[in-house]
Amino acid sequence: MKFKTLTEFIIEKQAEYPQASGELSRLLNDIGIAAKFVNREVNRAGLGEVMGYAGEVNVQGEDQKKLDVYANDQFIAALKSGGQCCAIGSEENDEIILLDSEISKHGKYVVAIDPLDGSSNIESNVSIGTIFSIYRRRTVRGVATIEDFLQPGRNLVAAGYVLYGSSTVLVYTTGYGVNGFTLDPSVGLFILSHPNMKYPETGTIYSINEANYIYFPEGVKRYIQFCQEDDKATHRPYSTRYIGSMVADVHRNLIRGGIFIYPGTIVSKQGKLRLLYECNPVAFIAEQAGGKASDGFRRVLDIQPKALHERAPIFVGPTYMVEKAEALMKQYSPEFRLE
Ligand code: AHM
Ligand code: MG
């Protein structure tokens, strides 16, 4: 049987761009390797109490760590090892992590990452994920600064996510389409399983935490009503699906056709999700898959970030679904416009 591994695919793509130096390829490959280690630990989650993992000291004499801390450490270690990345912005760390070894400090790229998103789902065996953004640094040389991260998502060089689900899938884009790779755990290889991913022409799913309904902008309430109306021609009412792990919700909606919404509310106008390492990577992938990502009024990828952990509302999915929600936001909730 003929198959293509993630590493082969990355090398093949690099060869299509003679000007490419191979640094981005190495960086992506290193993220793929770290994801395998995280996957191994995610699969053992729950054994902690039975086998004495959590809070214990393991055979190497190391303290066992919580999974999100473990994931953070793995990705940082992987990004340090290659020398292409000069700084990391992680959900787990308040400040950027400077990689200031002689090699890394001259690295061309910075990476913003949520190492284990949806971690509240771990104990109930529900899917969780990793989300990452890769930018070319703005400063020319030397130790990186926060300015290297405060770039709009349209500057992204690459972005992706790993979904630790019923199988483990890595999906990424470098701006030339979206490709997905499924981990074959028996041989430890990510195999190309979802080439050139695109949103289906018709989608019937909407994903939003409806428990927050009373806090939603009127535009969102109207969109939910629209999703629930009876109209055979447009396949409504749609179905609600909400896992509570953004990677899982976004991935399912990309495959099946659906909109994911985490809006601003009257309690938090900026919503919950983080612009740099949650909204932007998902927005880049959505656009590359023929869809759209908006904060209700403007393209997510055009938002100029002001802080590393800044939050933004997000409406992401097939273009026609996002545009309908945007139209209702503009009509009924103009006071939620952020710029
Ligand atoms: P986390 O980064 O603390 O894990 O939170 C992010 C997660 C997303 O994966 C998910 O879409 C969202 O929080 C769910 O939030 P809520 O429970 O408010 O619906
Ligand atoms: Mg998160």
Picking from 116, 135, 134, the residue whose alpha carbon sits closest to that of residue 126 is 116
As a whole-number percent, the residues of the chain with pLDDT over 70 amount to 94
* Residue of 69, 272, 314 best suited for mutating to test ligand 1, as the one with most atoms within 8 Å of CB: 272
Confidence class for position 64, pLDDT limits 50, 70, 90: low
Distance 68 CA to ligand 2 centre (A): 10
Least confident of 65-69, 198-202, 301-305: 65-69
- Specify the pLDDT at position 55: 55
Tell me the CA distances in angstroms from 163 to 129, 153, 197, one per residue in order.
4, 21, 15
Cβ neighbours around 339 below 10 Å, total: 8
Task: Render pLDDT for 23-43 as a digit per residue (tens, 0 to 9).
Answer: 889 999 999 999 999 999 998
Q: What is the pLDDT of residue 165?
A: 92
d(CA 51, ligand 1 centre) in Å? 29
Nearest atom in ligand 1 to the alpha carbon of residue 242 is: 19
- CA–centroid distance, 127 to ligand 1, in Å, is 12
CA of 47 to the centre of ligand 2 (A): 24
DSSP 8-state code for residue 62? P
Mean pLDDT along residues 296-314: 98
| Cβ contact 290:199 at 8 Å | yes
Beta-bridge partner residues of 190: 183
Tell me the pairing of strands 291-294 and 168-173.
unpaired
- What number does the ligand 1 atom closest to the CA of 114 have? 2
pLDDT at 49 over 80: no
Domain ranges of the chain: 6-194, 205-336
| 6-194 is classed CATH 3.30.540.10 | yes
* Nearest ligand, measured from the Cα of 119: 1
pLDDT band at 221 (very low <50, low <70, confident <90, very high): very high
How many angstroms does the Cα of residue 120 sit away from the middle of ligand 2? 10
Quote the mean pLDDT of the chain. 92
CA of 248 to the centre of ligand 2 (A): 12
Question: Per mean pLDDT, which range of 18-22, 26-30, 77-81 is the poorest?
Answer: 18-22
Least confident piece of the model among 123-127, 180-184, 189-193, 194-198? 123-127
DSSP 94: S
Residue 233 has pLDDT above 90, yes or no: yes
User: Which ligand is the nearest neighbour of the Cα of 316?
Assistant: 1
Average of per-residue pLDDT across 114-140: 91
Neighbours of ion ligand 2 (CB under 5 A): 114, 117
Give the SS3 label for residue 175: coil
The rounded Å distance from CA 254 to ligand 1 centre is: 18
Q: What is the pLDDT of residue 305?
A: 98
* pLDDT at res. 52: 45
Least confident segment among 16-25, 52-61, 139-148, 215-224: 52-61
Q: Whose CA is nearest to atom 3 of ligand 1?
A: 118
48 pLDDT more than 70:
no
Question: Using CA atoms, how far apart are residues 335 and 78, in angstroms rounded to an integer?
Answer: 43
Looking at residue 59, its pLDDT comes to: 46
Fold of 205-336: D-Maltodextrin-Binding Protein; domain 2 (3.40.190)
Ligand 1, CB cutoff 6 Å, lining residues: 91, 114, 117-119, 209, 244-246, 262, 272
Cross-sheet strand order for the sheet of 239-240: 239-240, 205-207, 258-262, 314-318, 291-294
pLDDT at 56 over 80: no
Q: Which atom of ligand 1 is nearest to the CA of 116?
A: 4
Nearest-CA residue for ligand 1 atom 14 is 244
Tell me the two tokens of residue 214: 């009373």
Q: What residues contact residue 255 under an 8 Å CB cut-off, 6+ apart?
A: 194, 197, 200
User: Of ligand 1's atoms, which has the minimum distance to the CA of residue 247?
Assistant: 9
CA distance 114 to 311: 13
Q: Is the pLDDT assigned to residue 115 strictly greater than 60?
A: yes
Residue 91 alpha carbon, nearest atom of ligand 1:
2
Give the confidence band of 60 by pLDDT, cuts at 50, 70, 90: very low
